[in-house]
């Protein structure tokens, strides 16, 4: 079964958890749906112009700027499109008259000096949720037209508020995580409505941050049981197709 991912490492890392027969057809991250429905920047920089970024990081910034993520995902011909919203955590900004995702990767480029503020920049705001809801209502018909037979699975990934062992998040981080989870819940509902309602959410007992995760401790770097649960779900979907 071919799976394309639009989301973040919480979905992508599942495919590296252990050996399996699934085919990861493509992976796009570091972009907001709000950005993807806006016009591209007037002059999309080449990958070389995005240095010091290289490889995947440069490609992700470029696909946010040229607004081609949906088209690229459709072009992989997947059986399943797996979507999570963890990268909606990034702020929005304006560049050359359009909206872009102010990811940590974009912040490493020379474009940073040209970014300006935009309404609804922070995921922890009513306006951002409204912008997102409008964006997915516009994007879903376009994507469905390109992929009429593809199953869209909304992966309802949330910020973990507890960690393994003695690892802890400070009070400020926990308060923000709770607020962001509330916003994400509304956004996932909008996404599921737009794409038909198929969703998957991990059991609470594995929504736990792992300080030994390969990317380090963070709210969205989970224990292995999280990825195992999602992988088993995808494998069951694949088995049902055969």
Give the pLDDT of residue 242.
Answer: 77
Tokens matching residue 48: 């070389």
In-domain check, residue 103: yes
Confidence of residue 197 (pLDDT cuts 50, 70, 90): confident
Q: Strand ranges (DSSP E) for 12-156?
A: 23-29, 80-83, 91-95, 98-102, 151-155
In-domain check, residue 214: no
Sort strands 91-95 and 80-83 into parallel, antiparallel or unpaired.
unpaired
In-domain check, residue 216: no
Q: What is the CATH number of the domain that holds 120?
A: 3.40.50
CA distance 214 to 9: 11
Instruction: Express each pLDDT in 144-173 by its tens digit.
Output: 999 999 999 999 999 999 999 999 999 999
DSSP result, 156-206: -------BSTT----HHHHHHHHHHHHHHHHHHHHHHHHHTS-EE---GGG
Beta bridge partner(s), residue 172 = none
What number of other Cβ atoms are within 10 A of residue 140's Cβ?
Answer: 19
**pTM greater than the 0.85 cutoff:** yes
Statement: residue 230 has pLDDT above 80: yes
Confidence of residue 231 (pLDDT cuts 50, 70, 90): very high
Statement: residue 182 has pLDDT above 80: yes
CA distance 130 to 127: 5
In-domain check, residue 212: no
Instruction: Express each pLDDT in 87-127 by its tens digit.
Output: 999 999 999 999 999 999 999 999 999 999 998 899 999 99
Instruction: Express each pLDDT in 54-80 by its tens digit.
Output: 999 999 999 999 999 999 999 999 999
Who's near 65: CB < 8 A, 6+ residues apart? 40, 41, 44, 45, 95, 100
Mean pLDDT over each residue of the chain, to the nearest integer = 96
In-domain check, residue 82: yes
Mean pLDDT of 138-144: 95
Statement: residue 219 has pLDDT above 90: yes
Nearest to 188 by CA among 144, 223, 233, 158: 158
Confidence of residue 10 (pLDDT cuts 50, 70, 90): very high
Report the number of distinct structural domains present in the chain: 1
In-domain check, residue 209: no
- Tell me the torsion sign for CA atoms 85, 130, 57, 68: positive
Instruction: Express each pLDDT in 23-61 by its tens digit.
Output: 999 999 999 999 999 999 999 999 999 999 999 999 999
Give the pLDDT of residue 21.
Answer: 97
Exposure string of 2-28, with b = 16+ CB inside 10 Å and e = fewer, is: bbbbbbbbbbbbbbeeeebebebbbbb
Burial of 55 (0-12, 13-18, 19+ CB in 10 A): exposed
* Domain that includes residue 188, residue range: 2-158+170-204+222-241
Could you give the count of Cα atoms lying within 13 Å of 145 in the half-sphere of its Cβ? 6
In-domain check, residue 68: yes
In-domain check, residue 115: yes
* 173, 129 contact by CB (below 8 A): no
% of the chain at pLDDT higher than 70: 100
């Amino acid at each position: 079964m071919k799976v394309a991912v639009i989301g973040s490492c919480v979905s992508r890392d599942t495919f590296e958890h252990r050996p399996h027969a699934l085919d990861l057809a493509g992976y796009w991250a570091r972009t907001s749906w709000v950005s993807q429905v806006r016009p591209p920047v007037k002059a999309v920089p080449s990958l070389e112009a995005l240095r010091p970024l290289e490889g995947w990081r440069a490609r992700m910034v470029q696909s946010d700027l040229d607004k081609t993520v949906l088209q690229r995902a459709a072009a992989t011909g997947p059986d399943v499109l797996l979507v999570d919203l963890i990268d909606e955590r990034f702020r929005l900004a304006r560049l050359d008259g359009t909206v872009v995702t102010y990811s940590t990767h974009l912040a490493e480029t020379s474009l940073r000096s040209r970014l300006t503020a935009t309404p609804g920049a922070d995921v922890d705001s009513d306006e951002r949720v409204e912008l997102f809801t409008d964006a997915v209502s516009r994007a879903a018909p376009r994507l469905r037209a390109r992929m009429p037979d593809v199953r869209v699975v909304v992966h309802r990934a949330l910020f973990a508020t507890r960690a393994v062992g003695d690892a802890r998040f400070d009070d400020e981080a926990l308060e923000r995580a709770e607020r962001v989870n509330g916003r994400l819940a509304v956004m996932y509902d909008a996404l599921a409505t737009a794409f038909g309602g198929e969703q998957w959410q991990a059991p609470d007992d594995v929504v736990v941050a792992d300080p030994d995760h390969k990317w380090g401790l963070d709210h969205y770097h989970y224990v292995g049981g999280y990825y195992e649960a999602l992988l088993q779900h995808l494998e069951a979907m694949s088995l049902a197709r055969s």
